[in-house]
């Protein structure tokens, strides 16, 4: 582990772990630690003085990148770049391809995307929707050691944990639909991911509908009728205005995206 004590201006101490174990040790219980994955969000926060951490842990050399398969189980390391997900099946591959542009996707990581704080001006953390629909579990470290939990639970406390990897069972079918704008540095105003599991369960999740990705249980319950499911999805979310779209616009477009995903899932099954 390399300690660089006097990097300025934002950080008191910078630590560069060279293994997952060193990263877990460096993170400890997380107090006063700021993690840097690809840094596309957090380095700007430091440069603009929005945060001034006493300890920065750079994860780029911690060996957390990689996609592993064990039969139908897929495990994706937190250090994997967003770009590396693009070849994967829907909803994950198309969702990753929809994140920003290639420069950001090459630099940005799965961990940074899933753990991004609420953006305020723009939604971020697009991969949350795809991984929630996949029913992913998150393995992470923190004050109680290393543990695995459903991603939904992890997201509620993601700012207290070091994410190590996410795992899910390959779905029988997946689909992704989003609002898109023709702009290179695009953020996604609204997106819906859907999955049909090998056991026949249907799961839907959305991003751009609140502080972080949300499952859409009412829409799932009404999935046999895509139009009704689209309307039902509005009961699952807390829509807001931001720099990309108004709550009104999202209210009118979320039902359409839900319908599209359900139709695509039906076609793919
Ligand atoms: C021009 C531009 C366009 C963008 N467009 C999109 C978009 O379309 N969709 C989208 O979702 N995002 C977008 N982003 C935001 C961002 O680039 C991506 O979300 C990216 O994947 C973040 O990953 P990162 O590794 O760079 O995060 P970082 O900046 O390294 O970290 C982000 C947050 O996650 C924490 N963190 C990082 N790794 C871990 C870990 N392993 N465990 C726990 N916490 C961790 C950090 O401490 C920080 O709080 C865009 C950014 C820019 C600049």
Q: Measured from the CB, is residue 187 less than 6 Å from ligand 1?
A: yes
Domain range annotation of the chain: 2-58, 67-268
The helix (run of H) or strand (run of E) holding residue 103 is helix 102-107
Looking at residue 193, what is its pLDDT? 98
Q: According to CATH, what is the number of the domain 2-58?
A: 3.30.43
Neighbours of 248 (CB within 10 A): 10
Architecture label for domain 67-268: 2-Layer Sandwich (3.30)
Q: Measured from the CB, is residue 82 less than 6 Å from ligand 1?
A: yes
Task: Dig out the tokens for 15 from the structure.
Answer: 């630590």
- Nearest of 90, 91, 94, 105 to residue 184 by alpha carbon: 105
Beta-strand pair 55-58/33-36: parallel
Residue nearest ligand 1's atom 10 by CA: 124
pLDDT tens sequence across 14-24:
999 999 999 99
Instruction: Tell me the pTM.
Output: 0.94
Looking at residue 23, what is its pLDDT? 98
How much is the mean pLDDT over the chain? 92
pLDDT tens sequence across 196-218:
999 999 999 999 998 889 999 99
Distance 12 CA to ligand 1 centre (A): 22
HSE of 79 in the Cβ direction (CA atoms, 13 Å)?
17
């Amino acid at each position: 582990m390399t300690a660089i004590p006097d990097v300025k201006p934002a950080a008191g101490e910078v630590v560069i772990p060279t293994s997952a174990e060193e990263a877990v040790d460096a993170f400890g219980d997380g107090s006063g630690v700021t993690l840097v994955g690809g840094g596309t969000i957090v380095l700007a926060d430091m440069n603009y003085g929005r945060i001034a951490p006493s300890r920065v842990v750079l994860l780029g050399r911690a060996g957390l990148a990689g996609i592993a398969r064990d039969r139908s189980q897929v495990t994706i390391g937190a250090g994997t770049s967003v770009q590396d997900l693009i070849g994967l099946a829907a909803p994950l591959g198309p969702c990753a391809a929809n994140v920003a542009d290639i420069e950001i996707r090459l630099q940005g990581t799965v961990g940074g995307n899933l753990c991004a704080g609420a953006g305020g001006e723009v939604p971020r953390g697009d991969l949350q929707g795809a991984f929630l629909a996949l029913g992913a579990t998150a393995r992470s470290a923190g004050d109680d050691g290393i543990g695995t939990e459903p991603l939904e639970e992890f997201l509620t406390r993601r700012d207290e944990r070091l994410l190590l990897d996410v795992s899910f069972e390959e779905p029988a079918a997946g689909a992704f639909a989003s609002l898109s704008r023709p702009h290179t540095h695009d953020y996604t105003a609204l997106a819906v991911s859907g999955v049909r599991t090998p056991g026949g369960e249907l799961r839907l999740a959305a991003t751009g509908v609140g502080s972080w990705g949300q499952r859409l249980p009412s829409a799932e319950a009404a999935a046999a009728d895509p139009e009704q499911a689209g309307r039902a999805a509005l009961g699952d979310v807390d829509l807001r205005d931001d720099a990309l779209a108004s709550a009104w616009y999202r209210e009118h477009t979320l039902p359409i995206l839900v319908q599209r995903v359900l139709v695509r899932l039906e076609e793919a099954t």
